[in-house]
Amino acid sequence: MPGAKPWFKRKRVVIPAVVLGLGIIGSAVNGPTETSPSSTASAATSSSSSAPISSVVPPPPVTDVVEAAPAPVTTTVAPAPTTTVAPAPAPAPASAPVPDVSVSQSNALRAANSYLDFTNFSRTGLIGQLEYEGYSTADATWAADTVTVDWNAQAAGSAQSYLEFTSFSRSGLIDQLVFEGYTPEQAAFGADSVGL
């Protein structure tokens, strides 16, 4: 038969093969199914309808917890205590309001403390250093005004550092300290502290 199709191209073979293949794939994807106890029980009753009801799987035991009734409470009246009650403590005084500090101000203050731990700065010198590090003028000024520092002690430390490096007259040292940003009073204190 020259016009006859091969067996694997015929509809009556291909369609059932596709359906069978899809069924196999579907069951492989979904996995095995479990039967619930109630479906097993209904299958058992439907398969043996003549069996007595007692042979059917018994229902699961009840797991509800029944609480026991509370025991009766007997009360006795105790005599009033003879101790005195201490008065309530006074409310704590309201603390000072915490100023709103931005993150950049907090970082500038931390940097200012770090610089002052490392070396001596005048107020304007510290502001200039913080600005050089990228802090805004407002944040640098706030940090310099907020930091706990003795500017006279900073001037004295700077004066000592200058004298360790080179020689200065009193007026030359005061001029150098003023150039560094110390006030004339702070510069004079620095010069006095090193004996000039």
Instruction: Confirm whether 7 is domain-assigned.
Output: no
Domain extent at residue 168: 150-196
Look at 11-15, 89-93, 100-104 and tell me which has the smallest mean pLDDT. Answer: 89-93
Q: What is the pTM of this model?
A: 0.49
Q: At what angle do helices 184-193 and 151-165 cross, to 10 degrees?
A: 60
Query: Are 142 and 159 within one domain?
Result: no
DSSP 180: T
In 3D space, the residue among 124, 125, 127, 192 whose CA is nearest the CA of residue 153 turns out to be 192
Instruction: Confirm whether 85 is domain-assigned.
Output: no
Instruction: Confirm whether 5 is domain-assigned.
Output: no
DSSP 54: G
Q: How buried is 139 (Cβ within 10 angstroms: 0-12 exposed, 13-18 middle, 19+ buried)?
A: buried
Query: Are 166 and 190 within one domain?
Result: yes
Instruction: Confirm whether 137 is domain-assigned.
Output: yes
- At 135-191, the pLDDT tens digits run 999 999 999 999 999 999 999 999 999 999 899 999 999 999 999 999 999 999 999
190 vs 163: CA distance, rounded Å: 11
How many residues are given for the chain?
196
Report which of residues 110 and 91 the model is more confident about.
Answer: 110
Counting the structural domains of the chain, the total is 2
